Amino acid sequence: MLADFFSRAIVAGIGLAAVTGPLGCFVVWRRMAYFGDTMAHSALLGVAISLLLSINITFGVFVVAALVAGALLLLQRQNTLSTDALLGLLSHSSLAVGLVLVGFLTTVRFDLMGLLFGDILAVSVNDIFVIYGGGAAILAVLALNWRPLLAATVSPELAEAEGLNPEVSRIVLMLLMALVIAIAMNLVGVLLITSLLIIPAVTARRLSATPEMMALIAAGLGAMAVVGGLYGSLTWDTASGPSIVVAALMIFLISLAVPTARLFGRRPSHGA
């Protein structure tokens, strides 16, 4: 099965959706969509630095994304700028510095468009092992920290009163975001990974009554978007990464026509 490039793309995409779905729920609940963009833009800087230092690109992207997340935490403690201003500063700065560094890589040839928009059809068997291995690790950490993360999302004050540490939960979530972006970069590209994190989760929010149900539905909808987008790309000869995001958007639009009360009897009460 994995000998065929299209089958490899589907298997890899489904594995990625299984991770981005639950993780994207926290992105939506915490209103961190712009943070996702910031992390994704930092991926280009991570690629440039990795090529300059001749280190593994996935590792380099993860380190740079984690450093950007750490910089955000430090700057937030100074209380001099709003969070959205800091995210704008870090997002556009990391992207610009990455593009400048790419300009200095005259002896290294790589597909910048493929990096930005991804090429899931070029995924290898080794890539699939990385996706499922890294994805399993991310989901395991997410499951072990589900209660602290959820409590800190609903109310940091109540989480502290229960003896939990919301700051640690926030750091864990940021590191998981950095890791999933490093893994997914070659699949859907640095400019589209945020869409795969957000759109299935936003769709699932309308169709779920509990946080756990939302996480499962988001993963399922992400897998549907991957399969639908890839078959659409094959049928109409369109770019695979953007086609997946368009499929996710179509699923969201279709969900708007489905009354939430018909599915679960009430609107979901979770999330900020």
Q: Which CATH superfamily is domain 5-189 in?
A: ABC transporter involved in vitamin B12 uptake, BtuC (1.10.3470.10)
pLDDT digits (tens, 9 = 90+) for 41-89: 888 899 889 988 889 888 999 999 999 999 988 888 888 888 888 888 9
Distance CA 79, CA 59 (A): 31
Burial of 143 (0-12, 13-18, 19+ CB in 10 A): exposed
Instruction: Output the six-digit token pair for 178.
Output: 């950095």
Say what the pLDDT of residue 261 is.
44
Instruction: Output the six-digit token pair for 29.
Output: 């609940």
Distance CA 42, CA 60 (A): 11
Q: What is the mean pLDDT of the chain?
A: 86
Terminal-residue alpha carbon distance, the chain? 42
- Report the share of the chain in percent with pLDDT over 70: 90
Say what the pLDDT of residue 272 is.
43
Report CA torsion sign: 98, 62, 173, 10.
positive
pLDDT band at 260 (very low <50, low <70, confident <90, very high): low
Domain ranges for the chain? 5-189
* Mean pLDDT of the region 103-126: 78
pLDDT digits (tens, 9 = 90+) for 131-141: 999 999 999 99
Say what the pLDDT of residue 110 is.
65
Q: Is the pLDDT of residue 202 over 60?
A: yes
Q: Is the pLDDT of residue 262 over 50?
A: no
* Mean pLDDT of the region 207-227: 94
Task: Give the Cβ contact number of residue 71 at 10 Å.
Answer: 17
Task: Give the Cβ contact number of residue 7 at 10 Å.
Answer: 11
Higher per-residue confidence, 208 vs 2: 208
Q: Is the pLDDT of residue 3 over 80?
A: no
pLDDT band at 263 (very low <50, low <70, confident <90, very high): very low
